Amino acid sequence: MTLPIRTLPRMRLATMRHTGAYGHPGLTELWERFGAWCAANRLNDPRPKFYGFSHDDPACTPPERCRYDAAVQIGVGLRTGPDVQVMDYEGGDYACMHFVGTGPEIAAAWAQMGAPGQIPEGWEWEPRAALEIYEEDFAVDPATGRFPCWLCIPVQRAR
C-alpha cells in the first residue's frame, strides 16, 4: 500500500533541539522541557499540534550527531530565549503514515516507510528533514506507553 501525500503549510515555529541518537531517552527529556516551556509561554491553550523534525539520516550520520527539533507553531513577537529558536518552516509535500506504538517501535515504522513501493508513483524522496506530527488530541497511554502520531517523509514530484 502506498502512503498518502500531505502538503504542509509554511509556519513560524519555536524549536528546541536534541543532538544525539534518535532512540535515546534524551528525546523524552527534550519533549518534557519543551512542553514546560510551551506551558510557561501560554502556547498550550488551546492545545496545538506539535512537530518533531529529524534532520539527519541515522544510516549516514553518527548517532551522536543526529539532530532532532521539537516544535510548535507560534505567532510573531514571541521571545524565545537561549534554549528555544525560531524556525521559518517552508512547508512542503510529505508521504505520511499514521503510527500508533511505543518509542522503541517507531524506528521500525520509519524503516517500513523507506521500503520499495511506499512512495506513490510520480513522487520521489527529497533530502529535507523528516517529521512527526502530534495532533491536538495527542496522549500517551499510561498503561502501555503507546502513542499516536503521523510519520512524514519529504517528497517531491519525480522529474
User: DSSP character for 158?
Assistant: -
Cell of 41: 509561554
Give the closest residue to 133 by CA, choosing from 82, 91, 76. Answer: 91
Contact 99, 149 (CB under 8 A): yes
Residue 108, phi then psi, degrees to nearest 5? -65, -35
Cell of 154: 519529504
pLDDT digits (tens, 9 = 90+) for 8-61: 999 999 999 999 998 888 888 999 999 999 999 999 888 899 999 999 988 899
pLDDT digits (tens, 9 = 90+) for 73-130: 998 888 888 899 999 999 999 999 999 999 889 889 998 998 888 999 999 999 999 9
User: DSSP character for 64?
Assistant: G
